[in-house]
Amino acid sequence: MRWLRLLMVVLLAMLAWLQYHLWLDEGGRRSVAKLEAQVEQQARDNGGLQERNDALQAEVEDLKSGEAAVEERARSELGMIKPGETFYRVVEPASPMAAPAVDPVAGEAGAD
């Protein structure tokens, strides 16, 4: 009878130890839930990066395959023109409100 009680105490202690490790210890449910959340976040990040990579890949293919994209970039970013073309720059006239008023007495703009 004494051995049976000792066996029950040992078994209950082992059950308590296993339950502790299952629910609270490293590798238990809590840490598994954290890891699952991290995996989900990483999957979202990877999706966004994959979209960005796809867009960049399409741009690279466009630049490799056609001259139109290269020409567009040269015109917009470098200000280049083709031979025989004439470049016109349209400058808007400055509005009278934008020019500083000159005080004839002080000789300076806007001096009070």
Over residues 86-108, mean pLDDT: 69
Q: What is the pLDDT of residues 4-35, one digit of tens each?
A: 999 999 999 999 988 887 777 777 777 888 88
Query: What confidence score (pLDDT) does residue 112 get?
Result: 47
Asked whether residue 72 is assigned to any structural domain, the reply reads: yes
Asked whether residue 49 is assigned to any structural domain, the reply reads: yes
Query: What confidence score (pLDDT) does residue 48 get?
Result: 93
The answer to whether residues 22 and 29 touch, using CB atoms and an 8 Å cutoff, is yes
Query: What confidence score (pLDDT) does residue 22 get?
Result: 75
Helix, strand, coil percentages in the chain from 3-state DSSP, rounded to 5: 65, 0, 35
CA 112 to CA 104: how far, in whole Å?
12
Task: Find where tokens 């490799």 sit.
Answer: 64
Residue with the larger pLDDT of the pair 36 and 105: 36
Query: What confidence score (pLDDT) does residue 55 get?
Result: 93
Q: What is the pLDDT of residues 61-93, one digit of tens each?
A: 877 887 877 788 788 888 788 888 887 888 888
Domain carrying residue 26:
2-78
Query: How many domains does the chain contain in total?
Result: 1
Asked whether residue 85 is assigned to any structural domain, the reply reads: no
